[in-house]
Amino acid sequence: MREITYLEAIREAMQQSMRLDPDVYLIGEDVAEYGGAFGASVGMLEEFGKDRVRNSPISEDALVGVAAGSAVTGMRPIVEIMFSDFITIAMDEIANQAAKMRYMFGGKAAVPMVIRMAGGGGTGAAAQHSQSLEALVAHIPGLKVVMPSCPYDAKGLLAAAIKDNNPVIFIEHKLLYKNKKYIENVPEELYEIPLGKGEIKRPGKDITLVATSFMVKKCLEAAEIALQERSIDCEVIDPRTLRPLDIDIILNSVKKTGRLICVEEACGFGGYMGEVVAQVVQDGFDFLDAPILRISGKNCPVPYSPVLENEMIPNHERIKQGIYSIFK
């Protein structure tokens, strides 16, 4: 089996889905000739033509509105938003239209669309291009929210999202796109990973770490160091889908380990991991042998300065120290 990058896995999922279904098309700013802001659609214009790989004006609200309208009439649009920060411009179309139409029409109207976007920091792109806004969209009923952490998951989850009859927010981390450190074996054929199904990325017995997207990588690094330095065996859980959430895989792990740390890149106040903590306390309080710890981004805009940005975003050292603090 060949090894490919996260970005290549995303492109392959789009290409193979479009070959199978003529109703699938890609629309976004600079997705055609330029190949997308991060290169996700390079070569797709040549294969599918301008009718199915469509450049849009610099207007996220118009872009998402067009996609939602076409989805209701039977198409399956893939929308590329350059940076996740820009979904704020299109929140009426996302939150008040796409997310609610199926419910408001009693299930008679489906809205099968995927909104792809690059999220997270670590690239020096500053406050307006580095946010992690998954909690904003996960809060809205009617939306599914996906955050793949590796190439295998990216391809399978995107394929499933494209076939889903609901609007799916698909958040891709910038630091994973072309990172050769995280390439992995990915099947050439198209496959699907069910939305709402988490995965144990590293089995362990002493403590459970729950993380999303790039923070999964940081947790895996911290887990290896903790095992070498203190013989602490960490289990790392990746929910993969934030909504619907596979809470059972988390509860089963906490029942085994008795300890839980929740890690996210987003600002901690009102962050998504607060929901995970609430559900574990509600349904698994008796499993806990220690207080739950949350590790998150600092509660400030993402700084431009690399030194300050590194301080704001959690790293494996901060996660490692969090693990050790549970065992004091």
Could you tell me if 262 and 169 lie in one domain? no
pLDDT class of 276 with cuts at 50, 70, 90: very high
Count Cβ atoms within 10 A of the Cβ of residue 106 and give its class: 0-12 exposed, 13-18 middle, 19 or more buried. exposed
Could you tell me if 37 and 137 lie in one domain? yes
Q: Is the pLDDT of residue 165 over 80?
A: yes
pLDDT class of 96 with cuts at 50, 70, 90: very high
Q: Name the pTM for this structure.
A: 0.96
Q: Which amino acid is at 152?
A: Y
How many contiguous H segments (helices) and E segments (strands) does the chain have? 12, 14
Q: Supply the mean pLDDT for the chain.
A: 97
What residue numbers bound the domain in which 220 lies?
Answer: 199-326
Q: Among the three residues 185, 212, 244, which one is the final residue of a domain in this structure?
A: 185
With respect to residue 190, please indicate whether it lies within any of the assigned structural domains.
no
Residue with tokens 């559900």: 279
Query: Catalytic residues, which ones?
Result: 129
Enter the tokens of residue 65. Answer: 């509105």
Could you tell me if 259 and 160 lie in one domain? no
Judge contact between 273 and 298, C-beta under 8 A. no
With respect to residue 51, please indicate whether it lies within any of the assigned structural domains.
yes
Could you tell me if 180 and 205 lie in one domain? no
The Cα–Cα gap between 300 and 271 comes to 13
Could you tell me if 161 and 284 lie in one domain? no
CA 217 to each of CA 119, 130, 187, 191, 213: distance values in angstroms, whole numbers, following the listed order: 15, 18, 21, 23, 8
Could you tell me if 165 and 276 lie in one domain? no
With respect to residue 194, please indicate whether it lies within any of the assigned structural domains.
no
Strand stretches in the chain, DSSP E: 3-4, 24-28, 53-55, 76-83, 114-119, 144-146, 168-173, 184-185, 199-202, 207-211, 234-238, 241-243, 260-267, 293-297
Report CA 153 to chain centroid distance, whole Å. Answer: 10
Number of domains making up the chain:
2
With respect to residue 192, please indicate whether it lies within any of the assigned structural domains.
no
Q: Is the pLDDT of residue 233 over 80?
A: yes
CATH assignment of the domain containing 92: 3.40.50.970
With respect to residue 297, please indicate whether it lies within any of the assigned structural domains.
yes
With respect to residue 259, please indicate whether it lies within any of the assigned structural domains.
yes
pLDDT class of 124 with cuts at 50, 70, 90: very high
Judge contact between 111 and 68, C-beta under 8 A. yes
Could you tell me if 28 and 132 lie in one domain? yes
With respect to residue 206, please indicate whether it lies within any of the assigned structural domains.
yes
Could you tell me if 204 and 171 lie in one domain? no
Could you tell me if 93 and 210 lie in one domain? no
pLDDT of residue 1: 74
Judge contact between 93 and 65, C-beta under 8 A. yes
pLDDT of residue 328: 82
Q: Among the three residues 185, 217, 239, which one is the final residue of a domain in this structure?
A: 185
pLDDT of residue 312: 96
CATH assignment of the domain containing 271: 3.40.50.920
pLDDT in tens, 201-226: 999 999 999 999 999 999 999 999 99
Q: Which of 129, 104, 322 is nearest to 211 (CA)?
A: 322
The conformation of residue 97, written as its DSSP 8-state character, comes to I
Report CA 284 to chain centroid distance, whole Å. Answer: 25
Judge contact between 113 and 77, C-beta under 8 A. yes
Could you tell me if 163 and 268 lie in one domain? no
With respect to residue 284, please indicate whether it lies within any of the assigned structural domains.
yes
**DSSP for 152-201, written as a single string:** HHHHHHHHHHHH-SS-EEEEEEGGGTT-GGG-EE--SS-----TT--EEE
